[in-house]
Amino acid sequence: MTVRTAFIAAAALAGGIGIFHAIADVPTTPVAPGGVAVEVSTVPVELRSADPTDLRIGKLIYRGGISVVPRSDHFGGLSALKVSADGSRFVSVEDVGIWVTGALTYDENGNLAGMNDVRIAQMLDENGAQLSGKVEGDSEGLAFADPHDLKGDAFVSYENHHRVLRFDFAKDGVAAKGQAFAMPDAIKTLRSNEGLEVLATLDDGRLLAISEYGPRDDDQDSLGWAVDPKTGAATSFIVKRVLPYAMTDAALLPDGRVLTLERRFSTLTGPGAELRVFDPATFMEGATVEGTLIAELFAGVTVDNMEGVAARKTADGKTMIYIVSDDNFQRPLQRTLVMMFELAE
């Protein structure tokens, strides 16, 4: 059973509903300039409800978080996150082929405090037709050509019909048409619903793509590629997993290292997440690469089905890390959480 399937099964047992019914009921969303507005409210969340003053976890310091409560069935299932260099804006994707954009707000101490100006729009294929459903529209990974800002082309990975599409986001925003991006044929060996979860752009401009699991079974290590968007040349390698965690997203840190977000879930222990850092210099043909753990969110801390991660450098040189959860459209059994941490190595 995959991590996502386990979440779905647990939610169905708890609430008597199923994710597939919920997703089928999410109607397509028209593409309007900037998208369609969605009203949301936010509730502050603590890192540890038992001791709100304990803000340290691993090499991270908690800098605020929110639970996002939308007034629309269109909002949910956030699978990736990218944040602007100044932290004011974000772009995300839902796993039913929907763009989500909006603004983030902060308190007087610079801690994450809220979200507003949220808009959604259905993704478009190369012909301008809407991408929707779990076969064509299961968007999981998101990266921008500029690894440190929301600039240039946007790249989105899909994990049922395994592929990556490139969108001229700088020119057309959420109305951009997805153009095929050349990926190695090996992505076709990935299993349904267990494909390219992870996308990030490296400092040298290559697109990093990592599968959630291996092509054989859920205990197999992940497959990784670094692809030159200009030439199509690809470097293939293996990403060593820390079982039972599965890869869900990655972001480039300001110092050039790759930060990965990985999740776990069982009906006995509940959800968990870990963050590791990788040296991109190890992404060599045929190599097996291992990351260094910086934090684990598990028992006793606020956590859900964490799927998206972003990073940025503040004006005073601090590295901020954001993580977002996918609620599987199972509110209130699951939540959309956005949490921010300061990297303190």
Contact 64, 45 (CB under 8 A): no
Residue 26 predicted with pLDDT over 90: no
Instruction: Determine the pLDDT at residue 266.
Output: 84
Q: How far apart are CA 264 and CA 165, in angstroms?
A: 27
Give the pLDDT score at 24: 35
Q: Tell me if 172 sits within 8 A of 227, measured CB to CB.
A: no
The answer to which of 17-26, 27-36, 290-299 has the lowest mean pLDDT is 17-26
How is the beta sheet containing 258-266 ordered, strand by strand? 246-252, 258-266, 270-278, 292-297
Domain limits, the chain: 3-343
Q: Which CATH architecture has domain 3-343?
A: 6 Propeller (2.120)
Give the pLDDT of residue 70: 94
Per-residue pLDDT reduced to its tens digit, 105-119:
999 999 999 999 999
Given this model, what pLDDT does residue 95 score? Answer: 87
Q: What is the pTM of this model?
A: 0.91
Tell me which of 20 and 55 has the higher pLDDT: 55
- CA distances to 49, 141, 185, 228 from 236, rounded to whole Å, are 43, 18, 11, 12
The pLDDT of residue 18: 34
% of the chain at pLDDT higher than 70: 90
Q: For the residues 180-190, what does the mean pLDDT come to?
A: 91
